[in-house]
Amino acid sequence: MRSFMQIKIYRGKFIAYAVFVVFIGLTLGALTCAVLLDQWVGNSRNEAAGAFSRVENGLQYDSDRIEAFMQRVYSNSGLVSDIRSFLGNNAEGYLTSRLQSSHYNRPLVSFPDDMKAFLSNGGKGDITQVSLHTEQEGNVVSFDNNGNTSFQFRLPSTDATFSESIQKGFVYHKKLSDPNQISRQLGEFRFLVSSDKIFKTVQNDHLSEAAAVSASGDVYLIAGSGKKTEDLVRRAVADGGTHGYLSTGLVDRAYYATYKSTEFDYEFVSIVDVAPLIRQKANVLLIVFLIVLAAMICVLLLIVYNLREDANFLRRIIVSIGRAKTADFTPVNPPRYRRNEYGMIARELDDMIHQLDKHIRTNYLLKLKQQETEMKALQHQINPHFLYNTLEVIRSSALVNSADYTSDAIATLGALYRDIVKNENIIPLDSELDLLQKYLKIMEFKYPDRFYHQFNVEQALLSLPTVKFWLQPLAENFFIHGFNPESEFNLLIVNGWEEADRFVLEIVDNGNSISDARLAEIRNKLSRGEDAAADSIGLRNVYTRLHFFYGSGFSMSIDNNEEAGVKISVFLSKEATYDVQAADRR
């Protein structure tokens, strides 16, 4: 980092980039947190809406059951008669009236029992109190949590038992008319739905703070913490909106949502304190912060990397200008002109291009000429060497064989030498194999019935361009070092095949093996490019010529066979064989 901070243009860039990245990171982080907070508040609002919907459904269910009960009363004369006995009497009067109105041939109907079974689920439902009123007083049937029934008679209508508040519950008023004369009203039913039971169904919901508020301002807490929740609920109702935010401190806020009942005169209010919600979701916000922080650090590191690379490039180019003029290194394309340090670099590079072009062209041509000269020297070196050996073979053959053999040998030698002295230095591998075939035929003259050869080369290799007369020295090594004149079966095999990314040629014989020490010495000299001794000049010549021609795409290995003889493997990469062209290598 120090490398580019010392340069004015990069120091200014880094400061600007850092400020921009931090600003964007903080903005994205804040927006992400705001979106998450809005989603959490929205989830709380949805939970509150679901809770209010269940309360309303419960109230509607009780209303439907009360309507059904009233229809049941009007359709059952026995119930109407028992209700008349219950209305306006005390306990003794109710029992006496029931007995007087009873018939021996009819079952005795009990209005409280029927109401308990049908309307209040055996006394354990939401309806905890039913009262039957005249204008001045009323009689009460109550159901406790265990399903037990209790009665109160002749209570004044102003009694606290009949007071209506949201703390106690919701009261359904139903007129009781005479079935025989609808216009005549007998009294009034008041059904009390307990707030404790109706709101108990939503107390286990994930409500932070919730309450029901009556039209008179009474508050029934469903969830929350006493006085604080009541104050927030009253503020929310007083605000008059369906949802919004209330200030609860210097920076703290509370979100509220209100739902007005369609059946009863009350509002359901849900409060979500933002500060506890944030603390509850602190892990999620921490993850968001770490992600944003990691993103900012990664972007800043990328900026530092790019600026550092540019600064290193600037220093390297300025220092290298002087060396470039002497062609000490390969040039690169100059950048665009700029009104800073790059402007100086561009002007210097303009002057440098001409010098580099001249030096590179000169050096390249010299290297090509040098390589061509070395190739020709190697070719001239091996041709006389081969010719002398071949003449010696013919001489020996003439001594031990008839003139016909000598004639054939000389004819074969003539054909072979004509191919050798032709001007083509680059020939297809098929032609190179033909040269080797002629040489091996001459060797058959020398060792009749003791030498055999075989070619197994795939068709794909025959058209490959190669240098001329490199297979013969490898075969000649076999006759010099590995051939056994006493053996009746001396064999030389040439194999060639194609692999996925290269071509392989093998020259395998069954003659004498090479000692481990000597094999290691040969491998070492070939790998280091050292001059070969007189007894291995052919092998070194072949290696050098093939390396000149194929470059790094060529490799050679020398190994002993497991049973007998030596195997020389030549590997040519497909990329190298595609790149070389005969016209370029002549």
pLDDT tens readout for residues 14-45:
888 889 999 998 999 899 988 988 888 888 88
- Average pLDDT on 311-324 reads 64
| Reported confidence tier of residue 180, pLDDT bands at 50, 70, 90 | confident
Nearest by Cα to 442 from 474, 485, 412, 480: 412
Distance in angstroms between the alpha carbons of the first and the last residue of the chain: 54
What is the model's pTM? 0.50
More confident of the two residues 417 and 179: 179
- Average pLDDT on 274-282 reads 82
Most confident of 77-86, 243-252, 336-345, 549-558: 549-558
Distance CA 134, CA 337 (A): 105
- Average pLDDT on 48-67 reads 88
Q: What is the DSSP string of 297-343?
A: HHHHHHHHHHHHHHHHHHHHHHHHHHHHTTT-S---------SSHHH
pLDDT of 194 above 60: yes
Supply the pLDDT for residue 571: 94
| Reported confidence tier of residue 457, pLDDT bands at 50, 70, 90 | very high
pLDDT of 416 above 90: no
| Reported confidence tier of residue 395, pLDDT bands at 50, 70, 90 | low
| Reported confidence tier of residue 534, pLDDT bands at 50, 70, 90 | very low
More confident of the two residues 13 and 46: 46
* CATH 3.30.565.10 for domain 426-585: yes
pLDDT of 331 above 80: no
Most confident of 483-492, 504-513, 519-528: 504-513
Please classify residue 12 by burial: count the beta carbons closer than 10 Å to its beta carbon, then call 0-12 exposed, 13-18 middle and 19+ buried.
exposed
Supply the pLDDT for residue 246: 86
Distance CA 92, CA 90 (A): 6
Q: What is the dihedral of CA 103, 109, 111, 117, to 10 degrees?
A: 180
More confident of the two residues 227 and 496: 496
Domains of the chain, residue spans: 76-199, 426-585
pLDDT of 381 above 70: no
- Average pLDDT on 513-535 reads 75
pLDDT of 300 above 50: yes
Percent of the chain with pLDDT over 90: 14
- Average pLDDT on 408-421 reads 66
Nearest by Cα to 439 from 501, 480, 390, 381: 390
Distance CA 386, CA 423 (A): 18
Supply the pLDDT for residue 533: 45
Q: Spell out the residues 6+ positions from residue 200 whose beta carbon is closer than 8 angstroms to its own.
A: none
Supply the pLDDT for residue 414: 66
In order of 146, 202, 209, the CA distances from 237 in angstroms are 36, 20, 14
Supply the pLDDT for residue 298: 92
Supply the pLDDT for residue 410: 67
Q: What is the dihedral of CA 92, 93, 96, 101, to 10 degrees?
A: -150
| Reported confidence tier of residue 586, pLDDT bands at 50, 70, 90 | very low
